[in-house]
Chain A
């Protein structure tokens, strides 16, 4: 489903070229549970941004579902993001002035889904994520775990094929972190591909496939035979 062919990403820092990704070749299939691990600065977030179409590669091609998305214009890339990709961030990135329900509704609004259908889908999701009684609360009235659950609900409301999670538990305590992880893993069981960026090896080990990155390169690509 996701195919990276010889992808590089070079940043210009103070007139100097700093390669963040070097000749990445990667193939991920639908429904795969992959963790990307590595020290900070190894390029894992850059890779995630490229997969999420938030960034463009300096060279190489990226195919998503067979479509070369690197050459798409802004409008179409946004459409792909909207329909196929969900983001979960370390810092939740909820809109502070909007209620939990409205935060979850946001992707539907952007996609131009009619209000009636929006309400139904948000209601269902709030219910299944155990947030029904928190629907009208603003993010600052929610706990960290609840915030991340709202964020995950928002990432999944468009029923994306891929979920990109950048340190989703990085800002949560152990218990809520575990809750959030099991929620994400439930989604994998439902067939959503999860790409998890973390520098926590224990978390990374849970994934069926683990990529290790150093210095902009994938240095190891292992699979958990037991879970595969």
Chain B
């Protein structure tokens, strides 16, 4: 019996029991669709987070004061001394590394901002002109901080979209004066609204030159330094250089922490990837349930078709042929079921994509492949036993009964 005839015969017997076949295909396709949709959601969430992260800037290395030890006690604590602050000189020194393209020192504090009769507490971010390209921020009006030496103060500020709205309303803000604490700053630009991204809302900020911020808050310490490596490959070198330079600056003391954005991103990526796998795995359980269903129904089919099997044997079909026939049925069944499931899953993902446009719902190829494979695999695996039962059937008994 050749392959075409085997498949034709198998599809014939599937058509012969229409309801049974349709129900099994339904069970299979729901299982596959569940895997596809759930992994699409998980993958969508992962891509959403990764997208949010990369909107923070690319090839970033972040230098923070203080060393986080993974174990034991910070030696500084035993000696009763705190680690040294990162100051502007240290930040400037980071530019010595050939792997670094540009840096942006950050100082953060809160101050009372007022314009005319309106005033409110705002978060003031002290930085330099390079912050704009490093953080991928965009301007709505005016210009960003001037590219002046980071040590020199200048009474200018750039407003976040929300601050501008609350303090100026529909009035033009660029060129106006803003009081921050006891100082006056001229507004030279307004940031475009970007919304919240990873906990930092640029809409709710006032950006001033870092030296001005230091004067305002009467400090020398930087909150952190953003370092942009020249390329993705140079991130590791930039990180090492930053550590070495900071050690030199601080008299051989390793008292800063240098993390890469990639490391943080990778952690999130791993967590969400694991989540996707877990959710997909749960969905795969429903697939194996569909597999058990197929086995059950195939066993019933064997019992119902005892006569037919006996007859095929009498007509000269060896046991292997009978096994192949039942196998072919299972493969067809789970094949059609998985195809239907993929279709269903794609439609489901598309619908979710329509409802939540922000979420990039798209089943990853490996999930589609895995769902298809699992469906086909369980279908075939769970038909082994029924097919064997059919093949081992005694033709004499099968034909003796009416």
A107: min CB distance to chain B, Å: 5
Which of A110, A112, A154 has the most chain B CB atoms closer than 10 A to its own CB? A110
Query: Which of A49-57, A182-190, A199-207 lines the interface with chain B?
Result: A49-57
Q: A95-B308, A110-B321 are in contact. Are A87 and B2 (CB under 8 A)?
A: no
Which of A78, A96, A111, A154 has the most chain B CB atoms closer than 10 A to its own CB? A78
B319 within 8 A of A: yes
- Report whether A95 and B315 are in contact in the complex, using a CB–CB cutoff of 8 Å: no
> Which residues in window 55-82 of A have CB below 8 A to B?
55, 74-75, 77-79, 81-82
Q: A75-B320, A110-B321 are in contact. Are A81 and B315 (CB under 8 A)?
A: yes
Contacting residues, chain B, for A77 (C-beta < 8 A): 318
B13 within 8 A of A: yes
Q: A78-B321, A110-B1, A111-B316 are in contact. Are A97 and B399 (CB under 8 A)?
A: no
| Contact of A54 (CB < 8 Å), options: B5, B307, B314 | B314
B312 within 8 A of A: yes
Smallest CB-CB separation from A105: which chain B residue?
Answer: B5
A33 within 8 A of B: no
> Which residues in window 34-53 of A have CB below 8 A to B?
45, 49, 52
The digit string for B297-312, where 1 denotes a CB below 8 A from any CB of A, is 0000000000110111
B325: min CB distance to chain A, Å: 10
B162 within 8 A of A: no
- Report whether B314 and A97 are in contact in the complex, using a CB–CB cutoff of 8 Å: no
Report the separation of the CA atoms of residues A206 and B15 in the bound assembly, to the nearest whole angstrom.
Answer: 44
A83 within 8 A of B: yes
- Report whether B311 and A74 are in contact in the complex, using a CB–CB cutoff of 8 Å: no
Q: A54-B396, A98-B12, A109-B9 are in contact. Are A154 and B315 (CB under 8 A)?
A: yes
- Report whether A78 and B12 are in contact in the complex, using a CB–CB cutoff of 8 Å: no
B315: min CB distance to chain A, Å: 5
B289 within 8 A of A: no
Report the separation of the CA atoms of residues A70 and B195 in the bound assembly, to the nearest whole angstrom.
Answer: 84
A119 within 8 A of B: no
A181 within 8 A of B: no
Q: How many residues of B contact A (CB 8 A)?
A: 27
A106 within 8 A of B: yes
Report the separation of the CA atoms of residues A79 and B318 in the bound assembly, to the nearest whole angstrom.
Answer: 8
- Report whether A54 and B399 are in contact in the complex, using a CB–CB cutoff of 8 Å: yes
Contacting residues, chain B, for A83 (C-beta < 8 A): 316
| Contact of A93 (CB < 8 Å), options: B1, B318, B396, B399 | B399
- Report whether A78 and B317 are in contact in the complex, using a CB–CB cutoff of 8 Å: yes
| Contact of B396 (CB < 8 Å), options: A55, A78, A158 | A55
Q: A93-B307, A109-B1 are in contact. Are A82 and B395 (CB under 8 A)?
A: no
B46 within 8 A of A: no
Report the separation of the CA atoms of residues A174 and B105 in the bound assembly, to the nearest whole angstrom.
Answer: 108
Report the separation of the CA atoms of residues A109 and B400 in the bound assembly, to the nearest whole angstrom.
Answer: 24
B266: min CB distance to chain A, Å: 57
Report the separation of the CA atoms of residues A83 and B308 in the bound assembly, to the nearest whole angstrom.
Answer: 19
- Report whether A87 and B16 are in contact in the complex, using a CB–CB cutoff of 8 Å: no
B377: min CB distance to chain A, Å: 28
Contacting residues, chain B, for A107 (C-beta < 8 A): 315-316
B402 within 8 A of A: yes
A4 within 8 A of B: no
B313 within 8 A of A: yes
Contacting residues, chain A, for B313 (C-beta < 8 A): 54, 78, 81
Contacting residues, chain B, for A106 (C-beta < 8 A): 312, 315
Smallest CB-CB separation from B15: which chain A residue?
Answer: A97
Contacting residues, chain B, for A95 (C-beta < 8 A): 308, 311
A106: min CB distance to chain B, Å: 6
Contacting residues, chain A, for B308 (C-beta < 8 A): 95
A9: min CB distance to chain B, Å: 10
- Report whether A81 and B314 are in contact in the complex, using a CB–CB cutoff of 8 Å: yes
B51: min CB distance to chain A, Å: 55
Report the separation of the CA atoms of residues A158 and B319 in the bound assembly, to the nearest whole angstrom.
Answer: 20
Smallest CB-CB separation from B321: which chain A residue?
Answer: A110
The digit string for B370-396, where 1 denotes a CB below 8 A from any CB of A, is 000000000000000000000000011
Q: A78-B321, A91-B402 are in contact. Are A49 and B316 (CB under 8 A)?
A: no
Report the separation of the CA atoms of residues A134 and B308 in the bound assembly, to the nearest whole angstrom.
Answer: 21
A64: min CB distance to chain B, Å: 14
Report the separation of the CA atoms of residues A83 and B400 in the bound assembly, to the nearest whole angstrom.
Answer: 23
> Which residues in window 1-50 of B have CB below 8 A to A?
1-2, 5, 9, 12-13, 15-16
Contacting residues, chain A, for B2 (C-beta < 8 A): 112
Contacting residues, chain A, for B16 (C-beta < 8 A): 96-97
Report the separation of the CA atoms of residues A158 and B318 in the bound assembly, to the nearest whole angstrom.
Answer: 16
Q: Which 5 A-B pairs have the closest CB atoms?
A: A82-B316, A78-B318, A97-B16, A81-B316, A75-B318
The contact sample of 21 A-B pairs, CB cut-off 8 A, is A54-B314, A54-B395, A54-B399, A55-B396, A74-B318, A75-B318, A75-B320, A77-B318, A78-B317, A81-B316, A82-B315, A93-B307, A93-B314, A93-B399, A95-B308, A106-B312, A109-B9, A110-B312, A111-B1, A112-B5, A158-B316
Q: Which residues of A contact B (CB under 8 A)?
A: 45, 49, 52, 54-55, 74-75, 77-79, 81-83, 87, 89, 91, 93, 95-98, 106-107, 109-112, 154, 158
| Other A-B pairs beyond A49-B396, A98-B12, A107-B316, 7, CB < 8 Å | A54-B399, A78-B321, A87-B314, A93-B310, A93-B314, A109-B9, A112-B1
Q: Which residues of B contact A (CB under 8 A)?
A: 1-2, 5, 9, 12-13, 15-16, 307-308, 310-321, 395-396, 399-400, 402
